A and B are shown apart, each in its own frame.
Chain A
């Protein structure tokens, strides 16, 4: 047995005991956060101005039209289509002789109404050769960035969005469509100083945002709303707005006032997550007010696709739904997102059925991975090409005592 669970069990016990002991304190903080949420709802302008002038070390939600507002789901249209994509990948394996990666995009078109139909498909794409495996700045040699690990994950998000735009373009004019992505619309992997600007340019500006734009422009002859769905979100953007509200200083400035202080007033809501907050105020099917993500990558690059979000109650779960500005500011599209995401969750046992099926079409299992590498090796052998692999990789495959 490689993991000795008897040794872990005692440590798990300690962890659970700690959680149990902190339960009452967490409830107090949540109650306090709820009080602040309700109290400041009347002073929205004041809080908005305070947030605008604040310099915080954490991400604070931008306010749109409320804090504790709850919106009931509008009625579902009689005819509509839901499209969704999801992806999975096989990364470059440095222990193999061949350098390549594979992205598999699962796509789903579900049409509901008089003639219901479904199209489930997958699009695997093998990438090889330097031009596909690295990102290079225009005209500069030697600063290439290999598309591996986190960057391959981002590339996958771009491919998911491209496939979604392709699906959307093929749908007939006049349709009401919800286009769904899994996870966040914000490519967090590119945030901060993680990668040089040319990488952001290639993947975000010329990739992800271009495809979002293609989808937006389809609204000329059909009604298409784009959204991404985050199940069990851990974000604290709204709670952080409450922290600003709690800050005793006229202009919240963490580095200036609280760099060394041990106890801060805003810690009274520390540890509370947005989903706990909205779990207490949203009824089944209701959505929260709209908020805006203030993340620097969004502010700097997203433009018309600036990311708005709301929380949605589906049974016991609070989900975070992210939408671009052009959806958030169009009441029809916003309502379409609200009721169709909810409808999808109800049809899918709590999770959007289109996303769940797209995942099923995309998923690459451990066995698939093995088969893929075997196929590559067999094809190399057929052509009498060397199939060297590392000693480490061989030792993992052939275990001995």
Chain B
């Protein structure tokens, strides 16, 4: 599928003001770490950055067991046990970093969280370009406590967004300058992020 087509990647199963969790329709089809996704709350479009993904048993009490002792490949395990695809689920979490109301795009939290069962889409190249016209959202990423380290997330997000631009380098340089301002007193963190986005 071309990146310009809107791709539905899941459905919201948990939502709060600051983030939402979506379940994928297909096992393992989680969007990449740091990618920009969007969902709806009636008339408001919510934008989120994917910060975590998991694949687990659908029932907490049923832990997967090792099955491949006699199989030639891990694909064979799924072929021999077709029920596995129905007993596991892949989910991803996204940090809400902005919203669109009417024609206006805001790079801060929306008034209400996403609705459960709202579809989640991977943003198109055009939407990524539009969203990343301003780096205001970086402040939210840096100041949030998440299971994934901030450095990894910020770097992954910028790498993902840079793919929307023909001149990726120019985009990353601009982002680096913004980070230098935001992380003025945090030289080590700045160095760590820049090291992760260097081409």
Contact = CB atoms under 8 A, between A and B. Distances in A.
B81 A353 contact: yes
Nearest to B59: A360
A120 B79 contact: no
25 contacts: A110-B82, A110-B83, A112-B79, A112-B80, A112-B82, A116-B78, A116-B79, A116-B80, A116-B82, A117-B82, A118-B82, A118-B83, A118-B84, A118-B85, A119-B86, A120-B83, A120-B86, A347-B80, A347-B81, A353-B81, A353-B83, A357-B83, A357-B87, A360-B59, A360-B62
Interface of A: 108, 110-112, 116-120, 347, 349, 353, 357, 360
A110 B84 CA distance: 11
A188 B26 CA distance: 44
Contacts of A360: 59, 62
A76 to B, nearest CB: 11
Contacts of A112: 79-80, 82
Across the A-B interface, the 7 shortest Cβ-Cβ residue pairs:
A116-B82, A118-B82, A118-B83, A120-B86, A116-B79, A118-B86, A117-B82
Interface string B73-97: 0000011111111110000000000
Nearest to A113: B79
A360 B78 CA distance: 19
B82 to A, nearest CB: 4
Contacts of A119: 86
Contacts of B78: 116
Contacts of B82: 110-112, 116-118
Contacts of B86: 118-120
A204 to B, nearest CB: 32
Contacts of A116: 78-80, 82
A349 B64 CA distance: 12
Interface in B72-125: 78-87
Contacts of A357: 83, 87
B12 to A, nearest CB: 23
A120 B87 CA distance: 9
Nearest to A116: B82
Contacts of A353: 81, 83
B52 to A, nearest CB: 27
A390 B79 CA distance: 53
Contacts of A108: 83
B61 to A, nearest CB: 10
A322 B84 CA distance: 28
Interface centre among A112, A117, A118, A353 (most CB of B within 10 A): A118
A110 B83 CA distance: 7
Given A120-B87, A349-B65, 11 more contacts: A108-B83, A110-B82, A110-B83, A111-B82, A112-B80, A116-B80, A116-B82, A118-B84, A120-B83, A347-B81, A353-B83
